[in-house]
Amino acid sequence: MRESTDLRTAGPDEGTFYTVPWVPATPVPRPRLDWHETTTSARLGRSLLRGRPEFPSDAKVMSRLSEFDLSRLRMAATVQAHHNGRVTSHLARRGIDQFLDLGCGYDWTVPCVETLQSYARRVLPACRVVSVDIDPVVIGTRYGAEFSDEETTVQGDLRHMEVLLTSDQVSSVLDLSRPVAILLHDVLPCLNDAEAVDALSVLRDWAPAGSALSITHATDLAPVTPSKLTPLLRQAADLTYIPRPWAAVKDLFGGWPLLEPGLVPTARWSPQMGDLRDWASGAYAGVAIKPAASTAEAT
């Protein structure tokens, strides 16, 4: 049975807050009643996909971008959304039946894009899925939608990765005697350099041999320049957003061998994306597999 609790707070105890009917897996900021007045990365991503802002706070951020930049960021968001499903299907076909979706975002963003669970269960109907996000509104839209003990939605902060991975919410669903597919899609730019490195180090140590690490990461591929969002999100909502170059993204895999085609612009990872220019992706994508312990030690 679900529990209800006040959120554990990592921020100042001021303003008007509300409580939620779930237990966060890590310390998280308490949700404010005026949440709609400050944009979030999840909501901005949904606004880009839908082509329109959800709230005035989102419109304010988007209005500071040129129509040229907006159109290309929307294209990159669309490429990302379709990539999520293709990677999930690919990993399920490899026989991985457990998925940890970190920074899951909204699962009802656009009608033409199915949920991760749908893609995975089309291949492996009994797969297990843990979806994690820090945004309480994201969790609220997903809360109660799980249909089995093999699926759960967890509120957690990736900056507390070890606490998250050892929480009951995660450990009760995922079986660490078998590989896990770890998805970090368009979420690592929300961490600063040290936070991203620390989170990935914990994840790689935790993952069983044979696990997959799928990363997509915003980068500037002119004329698509996600870095234009960095000062806007900092000023509007005190959000971190750091697109990174190819070498920095590759380092996050920690030496795990990459599946073909390697770390490439997202649209090039799957031939199903067609003949899109590299800049249309606005991000790199790669999938790596954790080798067996003896292999890892040999390298």
Strand 151-155 versus strand 264-265 pairing type: unpaired
Assigned domain for 14 exists: no
CA–CA dist 53, 61 (Å, integer): 9
Assigned domain for 149 exists: yes
Q: Which residues of the chain have pLDDT under 70?
A: 1-18, 108-113, 144-148, 274, 294-299
Assigned domain for 138 exists: yes
- For residue 252, the model assigns a pLDDT of 98
Assigned domain for 220 exists: yes
CB 127 within 8 A of CB 88: no
CA–CA dist 62, 91 (Å, integer): 35
Nearest to 253 by CA among 295, 289, 299, 284: 289
Structure tokens at 47: 């606004």
Please tell me what DSSP assigns to residue 37. G
Domain that holds residue 169: 35-298
- For residue 8, the model assigns a pLDDT of 40
Give 224-252 pLDDT, tens digit per residue: 788 988 998 888 878 899 999 999 999 99
CATH number for the domain harbouring residue 245: 3.40.50.150
Please tell me what DSSP assigns to residue 281. T
Structure tokens at 28: 């998280």
Query: Left (φ > 0), alpha (ψ -120 to 50) or beta: where does 85 sit?
Result: alpha
Assigned domain for 13 exists: no
Give 50-83 pLDDT, tens digit per residue: 888 888 888 988 888 889 888 888 999 999 999 9
Q: What is the tally of structural domains in the chain?
A: 1
Mean pLDDT across the chain: 87
CB atoms within 10 A of CB 159: 20
- For residue 148, the model assigns a pLDDT of 63
Assigned domain for 58 exists: yes
Quote the strand ranges of the chain, DSSP E.
98-102, 128-133, 151-155, 181-185, 212-218, 264-265, 283-289
Assigned domain for 117 exists: yes
Q: What is the pTM of this model?
A: 0.89
Q: Provide the sign of the torsion angle of the four alpha carbons 77, 79, 85, 90, taken in this order.
A: negative
CA–CA dist 239, 148 (Å, integer): 34
Assigned domain for 166 exists: yes
- For residue 16, the model assigns a pLDDT of 58
Residue 250 CB contacts under 8 Å (≥ 6 apart), including other chains? 263, 286
CA atoms within 13 A on the CB side of 261: 10
Structure tokens at 200: 């990935």
